[in-house]
């Protein structure tokens, strides 16, 4: 379910940010590892969930024009362009 995958990805990002601040770990390595883990979690979505995710991102892009290109590029950046 899309909501479950998004919640898990958000938790991953939040935990990593908090832990990296507390531990002073290498920010670049932490960021790359976190992005890979988020991509993996979201990669578990079904084809229908991926389409719903793309639709959701399109609404976010429309609401945040200054970030629209970045938001619209997320599925490709996360390797979610193909079918599950």
61 pLDDT exceeds 90? Answer: yes
**CA atoms of 45 and 83, how far apart (whole Å):** 10
**CA atoms of 27 and 71, how far apart (whole Å):** 22
Per-residue confidence band for 82, with pLDDT thresholds at 50, 70 and 90:
low
Instruction: Report how far Cα 45 is from the mean position of its chain's Cα atoms.
Output: 12
| pLDDT given for residue 15 in this prediction | 85
Residue in the structure block whose two tokens are 């970030």: 67
């Amino acid at each position: 379910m899309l909501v479950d995958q998004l919640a898990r990805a958000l938790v991953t990002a939040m935990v990593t940010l908090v832990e990296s601040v507390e531990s002073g770990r290498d920010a670049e390595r932490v960021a790359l590892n976190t992005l890979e883990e988020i991509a993996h979690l979201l990669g578990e979505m079904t084809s229908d969930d991926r389409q719903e995710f793309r639709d959701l991102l399109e609404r976010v892009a429309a609401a945040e024009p200054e970030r629209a290109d970045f938001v619209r590029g997320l599925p490709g950046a996360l390797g979610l362009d193909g079918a599950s």
